[in-house]
Amino acid sequence: MRNLIALSVCCLALGAASAADPPAAKAAPKPIENITPANPSRAANLNGSGLSKLPPAGRPTAATRMSEREREEQAEAELSAKIAERLAAMRANQAARAAAAAKARKDAAAKAAAVAALPPPRARGTHWSYEGELGPAHWSKINDDWAKCGTGNRQSPIDIRDGMKVDLEQVAFDYKPSSFNVQDNGHTVQVTMGGGNFITVGNRMYELVQFHFHRPSEERINGKGYEMVMHLVHKDGEGRLAVLALLMERGKPQPVVQTVWNNLPLEKGDVMAPSIVLDPNELLPQKRDYYTYMGSLTTPPCSENVLWLVMKEPIQASPAQMALFSRLYPLNARPIQPASGRMIKESM
């Protein structure tokens, strides 16, 4: 009986141990021998404690073992179910991530293809005019190289006023009769000069390259505009520009203007290269007082850092000469640009 009790105690201990820590259960048999024969008082003590009240050995112990196993199996099944659930969730996540990555790759490829199919992002237009969609308000958007037409703060023409009256050095002219050619370039009538005509101003020598006409005058003087203006474009050895503006009013016929009109080509774009010469000295007014300020080209690309020299005394052309130009170009003047606090100097 004592042995049986000891065995059941042992089994209980074994069951508990195996439930808590299965590998340790293999070490359990040793205490059985120790407890039973060598320490009867302890066995008796155990016998006198709650263990003596245990149900008769046999069935209850088996039932307990069964329920322990069932619990184990149930826990194991629950754990397996949880693991399976977690695995399924992980696999679903993985699949979703893979699908998202594939979609992102596909979208990126579609985007790249769309970008490749687009025209080049830089604006490269070359056509401009004085009115409508290609007019001055849109020049900067037609071609990226013409950005200054919109963003520049040293643009021309301006309304010349509040000049600082100073003892301006005179512009030194070194013009001579020269060969020339005439072209209607679609924006104006332009006369390109043979070399050898110079002006000197501010210790710099500029060579006359070409002159052309605008109607009405682009620049104004204290708000007053003129019927036409002639721009004589000069360039120095470093490529800097100096433009001399000759305001034009109705009066006597102008001989140089007549020579130009006489040699107009019949077709736009064609160049007429007559075998005669033209003397630009004959264009200049008697008085050589002038206004000067830093500005820009008044046509695309509207490049800045252009020295402007606007003669105060207008030159004259006959009404017939004016009328002829107006048949070709009734309006080819850029609107007035903000002076933006620029210094304007004028001869006293």
Interacting residues with Zn ion (CB under 5 A): 231
Q: Which is nearer to Zn ion, 18 or 298 (CB)?
A: 298
Between CA 296 and CA 301, with CA 298 as vertex, the angle to 5 degrees is 75
Question: Is residue 36 flagged as an active site residue?
Answer: no
Q: Which is nearer to Zn ion, 43 or 243 (CB)?
A: 243
Cα–Cα distance measured from residue 27 to residue 31, given in angstroms and rounded to the nearest whole number: 8
Q: Which is nearer to Zn ion, 241 or 339 (CB)?
A: 241
Nearest residue to 199 via CA among 219, 176, 181: 176
Nearest residue to 294 via CA among 211, 207, 222, 202: 202
| Catalytic residue (one of 212, 234, 292, 299) | 212
Q: Which is nearer to Zn ion, 231 or 234 (CB)?
A: 231
In the complex, least distance from residue 318 CB atom to Zn ion, rounded to whole angstroms: 21
In the complex, least distance from residue 218 CB atom to Zn ion, rounded to whole angstroms: 7
Alpha helices in 186-328 (DSSP H): 255-262, 319-328
CB neighbour list of residue 258: distance below 8 Å, 6 or more residues apart: 321
Main-chain dihedrals φ then ψ at residue 223, nearest 5 degrees:
90, -15
> Are 269 and 255 contacting, i.e. CB atoms less than 8 angstroms apart?
no
Q: How far is CA 284 from CA 47, 123, 252, in A?
A: 139, 40, 14
Q: What is the DSSP letter of 38?
A: T
Please return the burial class of 168, using the count of CB atoms within 10 Å of its CB with bins 0-12, 13-18 and 19+. buried
Question: Is residue 231 flagged as an active site residue?
Answer: yes
Q: Which is nearer to Zn ion, 215 or 231 (CB)?
A: 231
Question: Is residue 187 flagged as an active site residue?
Answer: yes
Q: Which is nearer to Zn ion, 47 or 181 (CB)?
A: 181
In the complex, least distance from residue 285 CB atom to Zn ion, rounded to whole angstroms: 18
In the complex, least distance from residue 109 CB atom to Zn ion, rounded to whole angstroms: 51
Q: How far is CA 112 from CA 104, 122, 136, in A?
A: 12, 18, 35
Cα–Cα distance measured from residue 75 to residue 80, given in angstroms and rounded to the nearest whole number: 8
CB-based closest residue to Zn ion: 231
Cα–Cα distance measured from residue 283 to residue 176, given in angstroms and rounded to the nearest whole number: 12
| Catalytic residue (one of 218, 292, 299, 346) | 218
| Catalytic residue (one of 61, 138, 187, 282) | 187
Question: Is residue 212 flagged as an active site residue?
Answer: yes
Question: Is residue 298 flagged as an active site residue?
Answer: yes
Joined tokens for residue 297: 């080209």
DSSP 3-state of 297: coil
Cα–Cα distance measured from residue 86 to residue 108, given in angstroms and rounded to the nearest whole number: 33
In the complex, least distance from residue 118 CB atom to Zn ion, rounded to whole angstroms: 36
In the complex, least distance from residue 275 CB atom to Zn ion, rounded to whole angstroms: 27
Question: Is residue 192 flagged as an active site residue?
Answer: no
| Catalytic residue (one of 231, 259, 292, 346) | 231
Catalytic residues: 187, 212, 214, 218, 231, 298
